[in-house]
Amino acid sequence: MLKLNLLTMALLLAASGGEVTAQSAPETVVGVPGCHFGEIIDGTTADDARRHIEAAGYANVSGLKKSCDNFWHGQATINGAQTRVLVTPDGRVRTEGN
């Protein structure tokens, strides 16, 4: 798989005429378990997700992990109850089902 990824990158570099430019483009996931080639990971951070969750009234945010679709998943407390939450790529906070 690594050889295939390296070959793909070499072909893309050759197709671009060997030019490498610095751009602030989203990161393309290659070789990450559960993700597919070409999926774009946005620049949101766990701190961004935590701020959205806390602004929605939750406390004790923990276990934040980002999925390949740019949703953040974690646990938080609201009204004294621990629950699973997610943050959508556009910043909306939702409770996850069991």
**C-alpha to C-alpha distance for 60 and 24, rounded to whole angstroms:** 33
Q: What is the pTM of this model?
A: 0.64
Torsion angle (degrees, nearest 10) of CA 22, 27, 31, 33: 160
Identity of residue 13:
L
- 90 by DSSP, 3-state: which? coil
User: Residue 94: its pLDDT value, please?
Assistant: 96
Q: For residue 18, what are its two tokens?
A: 């060997």
Q: Are 93 and 74 in contact (CB under 8 A)?
A: no
> pLDDT tens digit string along 4-15?
444 455 555 555
> For 69-95, how does the pLDDT look when each residue is reduced to its tens digit (9 = 90+)?
899 999 999 999 999 999 999 999 999
